[in-house]
Structure 1
């Protein structure tokens, strides 16, 4: 296990993590403004504990405009009672509370992307301080973390559960087992080269020896009841599987299609500023060189529309939601079956 981030957190709570029972409280993030000199940012947290056992850390609202996980964890915090548990469940349905309240991916306090700032800084920006608290306090208690994401305002996503490849074959096999128990239609295995790399919550959890599952459950800034149900059912199955909710009534998980992102060529980006007319939908299978649609230049005539073509074959796992795109915006992400050439 690597050394935890340096510095003592300034975030505090009256919640007693070692007390049996069910407690609702805030994490209090000090934040001073012109109108609130000694103010704090209130980040809701629930602790459900009953004796000895594993600790599950459940997080949503890492990005504020991703809603299925927030609702799933709010329901779970109300439904689960201490008598149901063996061990401890820590629930944070709105981890990046300022972003959640604003309905934004980034925090309005500092424009911080929480899932690109781990392990954080004890005396950094508000978002860095949240990342530091998770890294230095919450992960030190956890045996497993489930971080619930969706596509947010800019992407539509096929519901999926994601893992990072383990440091050993046995670790990867354990993660794949838990991903299959979770039961999202697609199980995506990453080598960590995409997205936020080593600065995501899943990456820092892995570095600290904590099992981590991540999801993508919907997107477009809306709410998917299907995605929320996948999250809720998946969490109950995983918590039952690891012994935290031993008597939970769950359905058997549906088949999970194991897939992977095959390098940076899986991503297709906008080359110009234009209006995006997609030619394929989520879940479509595409071939290398196939047209993914057109970008119509905002300048209008005489510039011609730009045709978008895929660099590789695969399944369309996510697609851009807003019609207007700027150079560098991600239009598509493809996944391929594990073991496929």
Structure 2
């Protein structure tokens, strides 16, 4: 089924070109209107195609800035192959500074494979999966903890459908060279049913990684620099930026996620652990305070997992069901003496 979205950029044209994806949006104030999704294509002939996306969630900022900087500073003569850059895939959410679209409440990373005749968010998901991913050999999807969470720079990847894909994924991980890598232990491959951009890439046979890069509703300069360094290292590793000279590898700690820790009472969250701290099962990792009843003792939050703190809630107010930490542990491969 064809897309409802039209592109102002010709992906086959040589050189550097920027424009918009036009998402049809007929409303009272604009009967034949469209929503603009910015896209830049840098095409310099033979070589792989890499799609780099950010802004699938509108309140995740480091990736948006990093992709915009690449679009602005790279020139076609530097590139071998084709680079497609989308700094704000869910533009309505980005413009509102929200995780989800204010137009249709769509969480874009839960809507793939989308619908070409659906809501704007569903149309965007369909375009990414059915138009962009078939063009790509590789893709990188940049996220952060958004307004509510904070992650250290962390790459996320699957294990690959075969030995060749596994090697390529490890190559992207080594090139990005972030402090942590969250390795999925299941799912992925051509039969993936995931409603995410990673699932879309897997279904189309695209070698892909995702990253969580800071959060808390702000841009962290050190994480932004680490992100931009990593993207250029990836381009170089794929032979797409041959004149770039990467610096020494810093190393990545591979992890498997254990699960999230949740608040069970409304109030103000006080974390007792920081990112990178070790935690045991049953350990008190946070308190929920009740300033409306100042004589009440705070409620304790205990961890159901042993491991290390990978992400932490960035907002103090909580209600029952809010995630306050994510716990991970060293991957099985790392424990066995692998990477």
Structures share a fold, TM > 0.5?
A: yes
In 2, the alpha carbon distance for the partners of 1:298 and 1:328 equals: 20
Question: More deviation in 267-276 or 111-120?
Answer: 267-276
The answer as to 2:222 corresponding to 1:247 is no
In 2, the alpha carbon distance for the partners of 1:192 and 1:145 equals: 20
Deviations 1:145-172 (A, max 9, x none): 1001111000011111110222234423
Would the aligned equivalents of 2:133 and 2:200 in 1 still touch at CA under 8 Å? no
* Cα separation, partners in 2 of 1:331 and 1:192, compared to 1, 3 Å: farther
Deviations 1:312-340 (A, max 9, x none): 21111101111111111111001111124
SS state at 1:217 partner: strand
The answer as to 2:265 corresponding to 1:272 is yes
In 2, the alpha carbon distance for the partners of 1:191 and 1:205 equals: 17
Q: CA deviation at 1:250?
A: 2.3
Match 1:183 to one of 157, 177, 185: 177
Match 2:301 to one of 295, 299, 308: 308
Unaligned runs of at least 5 residues, structure 2: none
Match 1:134 to one of 121, 128, 139: 128
The answer as to 2:257 corresponding to 1:261 is yes
Residue 145 of structure 2 corresponds to 151
Match 1:172 to one of 161, 166, 173: 166
TM-score (norm 2): 0.93
Q: CA deviation at 1:142?
A: 0.3
In 1, the alpha carbon distance for the partners of 2:288 and 2:57 equals: 28
TM-score (norm 1): 0.93
SS state at 1:83 partner: helix
Residue 83 of structure 2 corresponds to 89
Q: CA deviation at 1:304?
A: 4.2
Q: CA deviation at 1:191?
A: 2.9
In 1, the alpha carbon distance for the partners of 2:89 and 2:327 equals: 29
Match 2:222 to one of 211, 222, 226: 226
Would the aligned equivalents of 1:272 and 1:297 in 2 still touch at CA under 8 Å? no
Would the aligned equivalents of 1:160 and 1:188 in 2 still touch at CA under 8 Å? yes
SS state at 2:145 partner: coil
Q: CA deviation at 1:13?
A: 1.4
SS state at 2:118 partner: coil
Question: More deviation in 184-193 or 136-145?
Answer: 184-193
In 2, the alpha carbon distance for the partners of 1:63 and 1:216 equals: 12
Q: How does 1:52-71 map to 2 (within 5 A)?
A: 52-71=46-65
Residue 107 of structure 1 corresponds to 101
Deviating runs (4+, > 4 A) in structure 1? 301-304
In 2, the alpha carbon distance for the partners of 1:245 and 1:260 equals: 31
Number of matched pairs: 331
SS state at 2:311 partner: strand
Unaligned runs of at least 5 residues, structure 1: 1-6
